[in-house]
Amino acid sequence: MGIRDVQGRLELRLDELLARAGHIGADLLGLHSADLDEAAVEVEADEALLGQSALLELEIAQVRGALSRLKSGDYGVCISCGAEIAPARLEAMPEAAQCLACADLRGKP
């Protein structure tokens, strides 16, 4: 897969993530019901949305990092050890910043 293809995939993924984050943000801004029971359920739903939002922000940061590495010419090089990241890993996870060995050491994908 060429650099343009990778960049296109990453930009598309970033757009999708930002749209999802926007929807979650809008949902979190919604008013709660005046009924106490319903409001309690809505607060629980908000807590779940906050968790999803945190995960989305992490993934957005990873995709932006990959786009930055593409621009700097460092894409495909492990940020921890400097080794080449396997093409199959980048194919499956284009935002990967670490080789599999370093990712396994840190317990990250």
Q: How many domains does the chain have?
A: 2
Kindly state whether residues 88 and 44 are assigned to the same domain.
no
User: What residues of the chain score a pLDDT lower than 50?
Assistant: none
**How much is the pLDDT for 36?**
66
Kindly state whether residues 28 and 70 are assigned to the same domain.
yes
**How much is the pLDDT for 88?**
95
pTM of the shown model: 0.78
Euclidean distance between the first and the last CA atom of the chain, given in angstroms as a whole number = 21
Residue 82 φ/ψ, nearest 5 degrees = 85, 0
| SS3 per residue for 53-78 | HHHHHHHHHHHHHHHHHHHHCCCCEC
65: domain range? 1-75
Kindly state whether residues 5 and 47 are assigned to the same domain.
yes
Q: What is the pLDDT of residues 29-57, one digit of tens each?
A: 776 666 767 767 777 787 888 899 999 99
